[in-house]
Amino acid sequence: MVKSKFKIGQVVSFSTTGAIGSKARSGGIITAIEKMYELKDENKSYYPDGTCMGELTTSKHLSKGKFKGYAYRCKTIQPKGYLPEIVTVEEFKLKEKSC
Protein backbone atom coordinates (compact mmCIF):
# COMPACT_ATOMS: atom_id res chain seq x y z
CA MET A 1 0.00 0.00 0.00
CA VAL A 2 1.30 3.39 -0.96
CA LYS A 3 0.55 5.50 2.13
CA SER A 4 0.53 2.87 4.87
CA LYS A 5 2.69 3.63 7.89
CA PHE A 6 4.15 0.10 8.17
CA LYS A 7 5.41 -2.38 5.57
CA ILE A 8 4.95 -6.13 5.06
CA GLY A 9 7.61 -8.08 6.95
CA GLN A 10 8.14 -5.33 9.52
CA VAL A 11 8.23 -6.25 13.22
CA VAL A 12 5.78 -4.18 15.27
CA SER A 13 4.63 -4.03 18.87
CA PHE A 14 1.01 -3.72 19.92
CA SER A 15 0.04 -0.75 22.07
CA THR A 16 -1.13 -1.44 25.60
CA THR A 17 -4.83 -1.19 24.75
CA GLY A 18 -5.66 -4.61 26.17
CA ALA A 19 -5.83 -7.98 24.48
CA ILE A 20 -4.96 -8.31 20.80
CA GLY A 21 -6.50 -11.53 19.50
CA SER A 22 -7.57 -14.09 22.08
CA LYS A 23 -4.79 -13.23 24.56
CA ALA A 24 -2.53 -10.33 25.47
CA ARG A 25 0.27 -10.23 22.89
CA SER A 26 3.22 -7.86 22.77
CA GLY A 27 4.15 -7.89 19.09
CA GLY A 28 4.17 -9.52 15.70
CA ILE A 29 5.29 -9.50 12.08
CA ILE A 30 3.10 -7.83 9.44
CA THR A 31 1.98 -10.33 6.78
CA ALA A 32 -0.63 -8.26 4.89
CA ILE A 33 -2.06 -4.74 4.65
CA GLU A 34 -5.77 -4.08 4.01
CA LYS A 35 -7.90 -0.94 3.71
CA MET A 36 -10.47 -0.30 6.47
CA TYR A 37 -13.90 1.15 5.81
CA GLU A 38 -16.73 2.51 7.98
CA LEU A 39 -19.29 -0.24 8.64
CA LYS A 40 -22.94 0.23 7.58
CA ASP A 41 -25.32 0.80 10.50
CA GLU A 42 -27.33 -2.38 9.75
CA ASN A 43 -24.14 -4.49 9.93
CA LYS A 44 -22.97 -3.24 13.33
CA SER A 45 -23.16 -5.51 16.38
CA TYR A 46 -23.73 -4.31 19.94
CA TYR A 47 -22.88 -5.55 23.42
CA PRO A 48 -25.78 -6.08 25.88
CA ASP A 49 -25.02 -2.69 27.47
CA GLY A 50 -25.58 -0.97 24.10
CA THR A 51 -21.99 -0.13 23.13
CA CYS A 52 -20.87 -0.93 19.60
CA MET A 53 -18.49 -3.90 19.12
CA GLY A 54 -16.75 -2.20 16.22
CA GLU A 55 -17.33 0.39 13.53
CA LEU A 56 -14.68 -0.65 10.98
CA THR A 57 -14.44 -3.45 8.42
CA THR A 58 -12.07 -4.61 5.70
CA SER A 59 -15.01 -5.84 3.57
CA LYS A 60 -16.03 -3.04 1.23
CA HIS A 61 -19.45 -4.59 0.48
CA LEU A 62 -20.39 -4.37 4.20
CA SER A 63 -19.28 -0.75 4.44
CA LYS A 64 -20.52 2.72 3.60
CA GLY A 65 -17.52 3.01 1.27
CA LYS A 66 -15.69 5.61 3.40
CA PHE A 67 -11.96 4.84 3.67
CA LYS A 68 -10.83 5.14 7.31
CA GLY A 69 -7.22 3.90 7.28
CA TYR A 70 -5.25 0.70 7.11
CA ALA A 71 -5.55 -2.61 8.97
CA TYR A 72 -2.54 -4.89 9.33
CA ARG A 73 -2.69 -8.68 9.45
CA CYS A 74 0.05 -9.79 11.83
CA LYS A 75 1.51 -13.11 12.90
CA THR A 76 2.17 -12.83 16.64
CA ILE A 77 5.61 -13.53 18.08
CA GLN A 78 5.46 -16.55 20.36
CA PRO A 79 7.99 -18.41 22.54
CA LYS A 80 9.63 -21.43 20.93
CA GLY A 81 7.25 -24.40 20.80
CA TYR A 82 4.04 -22.34 20.53
CA LEU A 83 2.10 -21.58 17.35
CA PRO A 84 1.61 -17.94 16.32
CA GLU A 85 -1.85 -16.40 16.18
CA ILE A 86 -2.98 -14.42 13.12
CA VAL A 87 -4.63 -11.12 14.14
CA THR A 88 -5.84 -8.02 12.30
CA VAL A 89 -4.93 -4.76 14.04
CA GLU A 90 -5.77 -1.12 13.26
CA GLU A 91 -2.86 1.19 12.46
CA PHE A 92 -3.25 3.35 15.59
CA LYS A 93 -2.77 0.27 17.83
CA LEU A 94 0.70 -0.49 16.42
CA LYS A 95 4.13 0.90 17.22
CA GLU A 96 7.42 0.32 15.46
CA LYS A 97 9.38 -2.30 17.38
CA SER A 98 12.73 -1.02 18.60
CA CYS A 99 15.56 -3.50 18.98
What's the whole-model pTM score?
0.74
Bridge partners for 46 per DSSP: 52
List the beta strands (DSSP E) in the chain: 11-14, 27-39, 56-57, 63-76, 86-90, 94-96
- Residue 54, pLDDT > 60, answer yes
Contacts of 77 (CB under 8 A, 6+ apart): 11, 25, 26, 27, 28, 29, 84
Comparison of pLDDT for 25 and 55, the residue scoring more: 55
Check residue 32 and give its pLDDT: 92
Comparison of pLDDT for 97 and 13, the residue scoring more: 13
